[in-house]
Amino acid sequence: MNVSLNFRQAAYASETGRFPIGLITISHDDLAEDILVSTDPTARLEEHTTDVQIVYGTVSRGNTYLFFPMRIKLPDDTDEGPGEMQIEIDNVHRTYIETIRSISTPASFTVEWVMDNDLDTVEASWPDFQLVNVKYNETIITATLKLETQEREPFPSGSFSPSYFPGIF
């Protein structure tokens, strides 16, 4: 994985004020638009702020990611391929569970890391992870994500049978 000099300087410094920010894009056919989530309250988002609620988030590459308190466990890189990714979100609003229950097929997740001083440069990306399991209680929502692998594809993909190839029988 190639990362910028900005990221490497922050990673190798004995002390720094720089930090990575996780940006998550959740896509699904049943959603009217993608859900964009940030791990950092980078700035106050005036367009989403109301008299009742102040909303924070991150603007990256022209997209607005809303801040949610969360933890991300990135996948392990093993010989068997990428492992599972886990995301834990604080269950602070009832609509989160309603949204989870409304989706009947796996949603697609893209996780990206940007640095706090360069929000438009993606340092690392994990695209096309599929939601395979969701657990929740009154305080935490835990989502398990996996890459769609070729292991689920039948091999060989076709067979020479009379129903598929009548001309050779």
pLDDT tens digits, one per residue of 48-107: 777 778 889 999 999 999 998 899 998 887 766 677 899 998 876 677 777 777 777 888
d(CA 116, CA 106) in angstroms, rounded, equals: 31
pLDDT, position 120: 95
Band the pLDDT of 155: cuts 50, 70, 90: low
pTM for the full predicted model: 0.78
User: In this model, does residue 153 exceed pLDDT 60?
Assistant: no
Of 119 and 48, the one with more pLDDT: 119
pLDDT, position 68: 86
At the top level of CATH, the class of 5-152 is mainly beta
In DSSP terms, which residues pair with 107 in a beta bridge?
A: none
In DSSP terms, which residues pair with 118 in a beta bridge?
A: 115
3-state DSSP percent of the chain in helix, strand and coil, to 5 = 15, 45, 45
Of 154 and 55, the one with more pLDDT: 55
- Whether 10 and 19 have beta carbons less than 8 Å apart is answered as yes
Of 152 and 121, the one with more pLDDT: 121
In DSSP terms, which residues pair with 23 in a beta bridge?
A: 38, 112
pLDDT, position 83: 79
pLDDT, position 99: 75
Instruction: Enumerate the domain spans of the chain.
Output: 5-152
3-40 confidence digits (pLDDT tens): 888 888 888 888 888 899 999 999 988 888 898 999 99
Q: Is residue 22 classed exposed, middle or buried when 0-12, 13-18 and 19+ CB atoms within 10 A define those classes?
A: buried
